[in-house]
Amino acid sequence: MPNKAKWRDSAELLVRFGVPISLLALSLLFVSTGWLRWALVVTLPLLLIAIWDFFQRKHTLRRNYPLLARIRWIMEDLRPFARAYVVEGDLEGRPFNHDERSLVYARAKGQLDSHPFGTELDVYSEEYEWLAHSIIPNEQAPTEWRVNVGSSQCSQPYSASLLNISAMSFGSLSANAIMALNKGAAVGGFYHDTGEGGLSRYHRSHGGDLVWEIGSGYFGCRNSDGSFNPEKFAETASDPQVKMVEIKLSQGAKPGHGGVLPGPKVTREIAEARGVPIGRDVVSPAAHSTFSTPIGLLEWAVQLRQMSGGKPVGIKLCVGKPHEVFALCKAMIETGIRLDYIVVDGAEGGTGAAPVEFSNRVGMPLREGLILVRNALVGTGLKDEIKIAAAGKVHSGAGLAMNFGLGADWCNAGRAFMFALGCVQSMQCHTDRCPTGITTQDATRQRGLVVPTKAERVARFQRHTLHALREMVVAMGLDNPWQIEPCHISERQNSARSDTIDNIYGFIEDGQLVSDPESTQYARDWTAAQAHSFGETVCRQ
């Protein structure tokens, strides 16, 4: 045993210091003999790195395993690519698997998007869900649909496409990415949501329709102290390119969480778009300062609608506490004020970086959130005027169809359009080292993203995905996607049982929340909701 221990210790020392000692020996050999002196170009820098590692005090592994420990960091950098291209199966990747990414790539490039030899899904497992097709497909269905967004209180309603670009800010995305998205939106006739980072010069570059998102930082319409500036808002909102205004209450990746953009990242262009000083930290608070109650939110929405010239004003949220959604509905009933639309963001959504705890444990998934908002509006008789958009991992015609069946009037996508731009899911979005030039401000990386070429891919992906949606509608024997009902969607409970969505989730009838809330699954939340506060009026037992 002692001999084994000695051999183990010797092997350990060899592993730890064998590489730098060998480099030292080789370097001395090359210097003394003059033989292969050019090899010093390789050995000497590596030796200096090993010496630095040995004496530095920051990293234990590098101090104990000079040079060799750096392989760990190299493998960490290569890990996303090795996993995606070598290790993962077609259905294993997260957040988007290989098959999902390949579908977007194929449609963006105009390549064949069919799949041979049947589905790879286990149709007897809980991963399988399906749409009910008809024996008599409706080949006479229209080739295109649009949705009219705007309540009776809106004087400039907007005709929206059924698939649009979800909120992604300039700063989170590069200038070239923003320009490519906007040009693609202009070519394809759909809208481009600015994200909460302000309306930059790049959003205006190609004339694509814009939805201006206003977050708690009021970027692009703020005073120096971070408060809302009505005059700046009115000036930008009157731009004909701005078609709708969206109040961001929360987002899927980090609902209820503000953000900080460090000063070094606040370049001249970002400062210009956001209306903030160059080089200073920019804080996006968790909550808005313009309102604190449901009625206050509605009154501010009215002001925004008036200042924009009557354009549709809506909200975006990831659903958290159900009673807060009902409180907003009660406020609309009490005041008579109507929002024009609500964008439901699912907890599975998110194009930017977020704290892991928030990404993994905060927020309602899209399906549950969409059903709740649908039930809230239908149950209060408000759905006829207020449209619903769904955002959260939307990337296919089937995904669109299922969201329509749950209550959506149109859908927004973020990461799918990033894939259309060429994103390879390297998971480097927050490091400024995005290899495809999409989520970086590094000019040398951005140059790889050629705007005209990528804009064509963006438009092509959107067009082919809507074509896939139409094929779904045709196969189901319907006239339009709004005829898709929960009873047309089935999912498995286990290997021996499946059921339609309406038998799994509760879908309430028109006006039922007002006339008979006790008959619904929302009785406690409805009672807890109040128009004058987002707080709860009763203690939940």
**Upstream peptide bond of 95 is cis (omega within 30 degrees of 0):** yes
Predicted pLDDT at 282 = 79
CA geometry: angle at 372 spanning 370 and 373, to 5°?
A: 65
Q: Map tokens 């005209």 to a residue.
A: 452
Predicted pLDDT at 43 = 66
Burial of 74 by CB count in 10 Å (0-12 exposed, 13-18 middle, 19+ buried)?
exposed
Predicted pLDDT at 298 = 98
Q: How many C-beta atoms lie closer than 10 Å to residue 64's C-beta?
A: 14
Residue among 228, 226, 183, 223 nearest 206 (CA): 183
The structure tokens listed for 137 are: 């497909």
DSSP state of 475: H
Distance, in Å, from the CA atom of 245 to the CA atom of 195, rounded to the nearest integer, reads 11
Predicted pLDDT at 3 = 62
In 3-state terms, what secondary structure has residue 424?
A: coil
In 3-state terms, what secondary structure has residue 69?
A: coil
> Between the CA of residue 30 and those of 22, 27, 45, 52, 427, what are the distances in Å?
12, 5, 14, 21, 42
How many Cα neighbours within 13 Å face the side chain of 385?
Answer: 18
Q: For the residues of 304-323, what is the DSSP string, one character each?
A: HHHHTTS--EEEEE----HH
8 Å CB contact between 449 and 174: yes
Measured N-to-C along each axis, helices 451-475 and 98-109 cross at an angle, to the nearest 10 degrees, of: 110
* Amino acid occupying residue 31: V
Rg of the chain over Cα atoms, rounded to whole angstroms, equals 27
8 Å CB contact between 206 and 455: yes
Predicted pLDDT at 397 = 96
Chunked mean pLDDT (size 10), the chain, 541 residues: 57 59 65 59 71 80 76 71 64 76 91 83 88 97 97 98 96 93 98 95 96 96 94 97 97 72 79 88 87 98 98 96 97 98 88 70 91 98 97 94 98 94 83 85 88 97 98 98 98 92 96 97 96 78 49
How many Cα neighbours within 13 Å face the side chain of 191?
Answer: 29
Query: How, if at all, do strands 341-345 and 313-317 pair?
Result: parallel
Distance, in Å, from the CA atom of 202 to the CA atom of 208, rounded to the nearest integer, reads 11
8 Å CB contact between 347 and 365: yes
